[in-house]
Chains A and B, each alone.
Chain A
């Protein structure tokens, strides 16, 4: 079974804090993705990566950065968290179909 593991299920952070969301996959996939999910807006692509150290902006990259130093790991970074970044963050990996992690619920207060 494909496993995509997100490091934290629930986080509460203060405005202005730097936040790291980690994601690891065990299927040797080249492609990895970060989405955020908000009611009524569906899944919106923040960043994706097609190889180690390669990244591309998705539809809503502002306020986020990513890191892909190893093939199995894709990190999402909020340089200075803001309340409008309170959301559910989903990591995924795959090719012709994608597999999601369990999600990380981030609350910024």
Chain B
């Protein structure tokens, strides 16, 4: 398949600790999107990065796109129980007007109160 690899697969942290998930590709990514799936829910779009070295923040979440556009990271500062869920990265590939999303394997985060 053409999946993008994510590490770690699982992570348990104490509430208040930081958390980072990494997304790696063997080929250059045209863009990277991040999604969050709460337990029992469906993935919901968080953000998109397009430029090499781009960094974006959403409150306690920091998203980064690597300089070579082959990797990306999502960092959560001072986790809260509401951060529990699975985080996916995804690449949007457009070819002749068609849209195809390739998702990473996901990182499941558990936050212990």
Q: Is the CB of B44 within 8 A of A41?
A: no
Q: Is the CB of B48 within 8 A of A97?
A: yes
Contacts across chains A and B counted by CB atoms under 8 Å: 62
From known contacts A31-B98, A40-B9, A97-B48, infer whether A59 and B3 are also in contact, taking CB-CB under 8 Å.
yes
Determine the interface band of chain A, counting residues with CB < 8 A from chain B. 20 to 34
| Residues of the B chain whose Cβ atoms lie less than 8 Å from the Cβ of A64 | none
> What mask results when residues 90 to 113 of chain B are scored 1 for a CB within 8 Å of chain A, else 0?
101000011111111110000000
Specify which of B1, B98, B101 is in contact with A98 (CB 8 Å cutoff). B101
Question: Is chain A's binding surface mostly helix, strand, loop or mixed?
Answer: strand
Query: Does chain A have a CB within 8 A of B43?
Result: yes
From known contacts A43-B103, A43-B106, infer whether A50 and B97 are also in contact, taking CB-CB under 8 Å.
yes
CB distance from A68 to the nearest CB of B (A): 13
List residues of A whose CB falls within 8 A of some B CB: 31, 33, 35, 40-45, 48, 50, 56, 58-60, 90, 92, 94-103
20 pairs, CB–CB < 8 Å, chain A vs chain B = A31-B98, A35-B103, A41-B105, A42-B6, A42-B88, A43-B43, A43-B103, A45-B102, A48-B98, A48-B100, A59-B1, A59-B2, A59-B102, A92-B101, A97-B45, A97-B48, A99-B45, A100-B42, A100-B43, A103-B42
